[in-house]
Every structure is written in structure tokens, then in C-alpha cells.
């Protein structure tokens, strides 16, 4: 395979994670050291930055700051949610992308994101190939949701899982201090897949976790839920519950919807709020106990100070590998993770997965990993998740607070 000379561009896309910047650092640092890469660009707000010709010149950045990117949460060059139309329906965007790529001689395209972003990467890859413009297109995975197909796991998940398990253990301590009953309902992200919520099972394994864990993989039975809460309250005064924001009844209704309807029908007052709030309110009404609803909110996806070293390292390596694979001639692939065990020790291998296999597919928790009574996860899940949360890797402290990267973000002229 002849060496391809030209510029490279990286775009970040979709919701933040603690380690998407670590992948960016991997791409940038590796690309800056490669002779065949003539320019290293960061697209401002992903694909929109390419459409708008807003490209940061990464060679202008200090290497120290690029290294700090590894431990800086979220998407430092800006993210985007922009869905490309099918090229055979409307190829305006694609023509523009090709135009920009030609203008800047971009021959390496790296796109870092989740399912939708891999769809974007896949579409661009196919369009460029059909148009005869030589450009290596590689997807770099990213999503706290851990729901990308084929790959064993996704960068961002380990750190989010570590945040969720650690925070659950702390909330367990906080919510059981009084001599009066108290039910605490924690709402965790994950609209369709329960990987994040499942991570709270790790807290239970460590001795201080939720009594009940509800994932969107199975229908949520409200009556069964309430009777389980009642049973636990008979045995002990403090109950801790983890619930995915995405749980649905067997009729496909999210809980806030369900209770807004019920409220209109019977109680006559509006029930607002998220899944956790709705459940906490119902528990209060039925059992007359103190309740608290906690949303893990943005913190679960940006708490870099609790990042898993394994996750940061793999995210960084995924970025580097993407560049190396591309230079070696690979295109139209996503860098995926394959788990192996060497002498019983977890190891991550970087493999290649066809972009079209990942684009818009979704990997859920195997139903066999959910306990028969739907109250938590089995040992299979725990064994799967534990290696991903190992080690700490947080930003250096200055004055007791994290020193995150401060990029210059100079637009290329």
C-alpha cells in the first residue's frame, strides 16, 4: 500500500464523556508525529466545522496542553448533533465536504462519537470512495452508553460506570444515617440500553449499593416494583434504588408519561419530573416515608476527576491506533475493542470493525445478565464491568482544583 500524503481532520460528535478528549489527544499527538500527515486539523463542532470551513490548526497548540487534553472532560473542540441526509436523497452536504477536503487536501478523516456519529462517518466514507477521492475514513468510538455494536465496550463507559458505582456507595452512606425510614431513588442516563444503570450493581457488590436496579431492557412493572419496595421496607428502614431514565411499561410508556396520564385521570394534579422523581413521589404517597430523588445528570458523563485509568488509556490508544491504521492503508472502519485475558488478567486489543456494522445499531445488556426477578445484575455483568473501572487518572491539581487543557484554538487560514 503506497503511503498517502495529506492533511488529517478530527471531528468530535454527540454527547460528552470524560475521555472523548483523550481520543482527540491520541489522534492529534500521533498525527503530529507522522511525516505523511501534512496538516492536523480539529473540526470546530464536528461535521459542521467542516461544512463551515472552521478548522483549528492543531500544530499551533503546545504539546503540554495536548497532553492535558487526556484528562480534560467533554469535547474541547466542540461537538455537534447533525444528521447527514442519505447522499442519494440530497448530496448537498457531501459535495461541500468533498470540496473542503480537496481545498485543504484532507486525506485522513477521523470521526469520534457514538452510533449516530458512526453513521455520519460511514456515509462520508462511502460517498468519498464512490467519488474516487482517496481519503481514509476511520471512526473512533465514544459513548458513555456503551451501546455500540460489535465492540466489546466503548471509551467513556468505564469512567461513567466508575462515577456511578462510587457515587452510589457514597449516597448509600448518606441516605441511611437517620433512624427514620427513607427511600432514595437515583435516576441514571440510558434511554434504551441499561449499561450505565447496571454499573450501580458494582456498588452493591462492594457492600454499599442499591437494593433494586431497573434497566430499560425489560418492561417496568409498576405494581411489582411497589410491592418489592414494600417488602424491603418491612425488613429495613433504608432503601436505595437505581433506575434508568429509559424504563418503560410493557405498553411502551415512559414513567413520567404514565403518571401524567394517571394524574389527569384520577388525582387531578400534575406529576412532573423525571423517572426517579415520579417513582419517589409514588413511594412517598403509598408508604408515607421520606423519599429523595437524585438525578446523576451531566455529572455522570463529565466527572473527569473520577475517570478510570483503563478507560482514559484505551480512549487515548483508540485515537492513536486510528491514525496508525489509516496510515497503513485502512479505511471505512471503526477502531473497536476486543477483550482478552492473559493469565487471567484483562487486556484490550484494538481491532477493526466495518463502519456499516456499527452505524445506527445498538447493543443492549444480554437478558441473561439480568437477575430472574429483575432486581439487579448477575455475576457475568460484574465480571464484564469491573476491569473497565480500574485505576485513577485525573487532571493534575493546581490550587486544589483540576488543571484542564487550555487550547489556543487558532482557526487555519
Q: Does 378 bind a copy of itself (CB under 8 A)?
A: no
Task: Report which of 190, 145, 156 is spatially closest to residue 388, judged by C-alpha positions.
Answer: 156
Q: Does 317 bind a copy of itself (CB under 8 A)?
A: no
Residue 298 or 367 with smaller CB distance to a copy of itself: 298
Spatial contact of 318 and 348, defined as CB atoms under 8 Å apart: no
Q: Is residue 174 helix, strand or coil?
A: helix
Q: Which of 298, 367, 410, 411 binds a copy of itself (CB under 8 A)?
A: 298
Burial tier of 35 (Cβ tally within 10 Å: 0-12, 13-18, 19+): exposed
Q: Does 76 bind a copy of itself (CB under 8 A)?
A: yes
Q: Which of 19, 28, 45, 118 binds a copy of itself (CB under 8 A)?
A: 45
Mutual orientation of helices 92-103 and 115-131 as an angle, nearest 10°? 70
Is residue 145 part of the annotated active site? The answer reads yes
How many alpha carbons fall within 13 Å on the CB side of residue 187?
A: 20
Q: Is residue 342 helix, strand or coil?
A: strand
Residue 119 to residue 83: CA distance in whole angstroms = 8
Burial tier of 250 (Cβ tally within 10 Å: 0-12, 13-18, 19+): exposed
With CB under 8 A as the rule, give the number of residues binding a copy of itself. Answer: 64
Residue 294 or 318 with smaller CB distance to a copy of itself: 294
Q: Which of 227, 392, 410, 411 binds a copy of itself (CB under 8 A)?
A: 392
- Which region, judged by CB under 8 A, interacts with a copy of itself, from 24-32, 42-50, 117-125, 335-343? 42-50
Residue 44 or 228 with smaller CB distance to a copy of itself: 44
Annotated catalytic residue: which of 119, 145, 147, 211?
Answer: 145
Query: Which ranges constitute the DSSP H helices of 299-346?
Result: 299-302, 309-327
Q: Does 400 bind a copy of itself (CB under 8 A)?
A: yes
Residue 133 to residue 99: CA distance in whole angstroms = 10
Q: Which of 291, 389, 393, 407 binds a copy of itself (CB under 8 A)?
A: 389
In whole angstroms, the minimum distance from the beta carbon of 342 to a copy of itself comes to 19
- Show contacts with a copy of itself in window 133-162 (CB under 8 A): 162
Q: Does 399 bind a copy of itself (CB under 8 A)?
A: yes
In whole angstroms, the minimum distance from the beta carbon of 179 to a copy of itself comes to 4
Task: Report which of 180, 256, 171, 160 is spatially closest to residue 211, judged by C-alpha positions.
Answer: 171
Task: Report which of 181, 183, 178, 307 is spatially closest to residue 239, judged by C-alpha positions.
Answer: 183
Q: Which of 80, 144, 240, 323 binds a copy of itself (CB under 8 A)?
A: 80
For the annotated catalytic residues, the residue numbers are: 145
Under the rule (CB under 8 A), what is the footprint of a copy of itself?
A: 12, 16, 44-45, 48, 72-76, 78-81, 162, 165-167, 169-171, 173-179, 184, 202-203, 206-208, 269-270, 272-273, 292, 294-295, 297-299, 301-306, 308, 386, 389-392, 397-402, 404, 406
Amino acid at each position: 500500500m503506497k503511503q498517502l500524503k495529506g492533511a488529517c481532520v478530527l471531528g468530535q460528535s454527540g454527547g460528552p464523556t470524560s475521555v472523548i478528549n483523550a481520543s482527540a489527544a491520541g489522534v492529534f499527538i500521533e498525527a503530529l508525529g507522522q511525516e505523511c500527515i501534512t496538516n492536523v486539523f480539529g473540526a470546530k463542532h464536528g461535521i459542521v466545522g467542516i461544512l463551515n470551513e472552521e478548522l483549528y490548526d492543531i500544530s499551533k497548540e503546545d504539546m503540554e496542553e495536548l497532553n492535558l487534553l487526556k484528562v480534560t472532560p467533554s469535547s474541547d473542540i466542540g461537538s455537534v448533533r447533525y444528521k447527514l441526509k442519505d447522499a442519494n436523497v440530497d448530496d448537498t452536504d457531501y459535495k461541500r465536504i468533498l470540496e473542503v477536503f480537496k481545498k485543504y487536501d484532507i486525506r485522513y478523516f477521523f470521526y469520534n462519537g457514538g452510533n449516530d456519529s458512526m453513521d455520519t462517518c460511514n456515509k462520508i466514507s462511502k460517498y468519498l470512495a464512490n467519488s474516487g477521492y482517496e481519503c481514509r475514513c476511520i471512526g473512533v468510538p465514544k459513548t458513555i452508553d456503551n451501546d455500540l455494536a460489535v465492540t466489546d465496550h466503548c471509551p467513556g463507559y468505564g469512567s461513567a460506570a466508575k462515577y456511578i458505582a462510587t457515587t452510589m456507595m457514597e449516597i448509600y452512606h448518606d441516605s441511611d444515617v437517620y433512624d427514620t425510614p427513607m427511600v432514595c431513588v437515583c435516576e441514571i442516563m440510558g434511554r434504551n440500553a441499561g449499561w450505565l444503570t447496571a454499573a450501580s450493581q458494582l456498588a452493591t457488590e462492594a457492600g454499599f449499593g442499591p437494593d433494586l436496579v431497573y434497566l430499560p431492557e425489560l418492561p417496568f412493572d409498576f405494581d411489582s416494583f411497589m410491592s418489592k419496595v414494600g417488602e424491603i421496607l418491612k425488613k429495613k428502614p433504608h432503601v436505595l434504588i437505581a433506575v434508568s431514565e429509559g424504563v418503560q411499561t410493557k405498553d411502551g410508556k415512559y414513567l413520567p408519561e404514565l403518571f401524567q396520564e394517571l394524574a389527569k385521570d384520577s388525582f387531578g394534579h400534575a406529576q412532573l419530573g423525571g423517572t426517579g422523581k415520579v417513582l419517589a413521589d409514588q413511594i412517598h404517597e403509598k408508604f408515607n416515608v421520606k423519599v429523595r430523588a437524585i438525578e446523576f445528570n451531566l455529572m455522570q458523563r463529565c466527572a473527569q476527576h473520577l475517570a478510570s485509568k483503563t478507560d482514559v488509556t484505551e480512549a487515548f490508544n483508540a485515537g492513536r491506533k486510528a491514525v496508525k491504521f489509516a496510515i497503513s492503508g485502512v479505511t471505512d472502519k471503526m477502531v473497536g475493542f476486543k477483550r482478552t485475558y492473559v493469565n487471567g488478567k484483562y487486556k484490550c486489543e484494538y481491532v477493526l470493525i466495518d463502519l456499516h456494522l456499527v452505524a445506527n445499531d445498538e447493543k443492549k445488556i444480554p437478558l441473561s445478565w439480568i437477575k430472574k426477578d429483575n432486581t439487579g445484575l448477575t455475576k457475568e455483568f460484574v465480571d464484564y464491568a469491573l476491569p473497565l473501572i480500574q485505576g485513577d487518572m485525573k487532571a493534575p491539581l493546581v490550587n486544589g482544583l483540576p488543571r484542564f487543557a487550555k487550547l489556543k484554538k487558532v482557526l487555519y487560514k
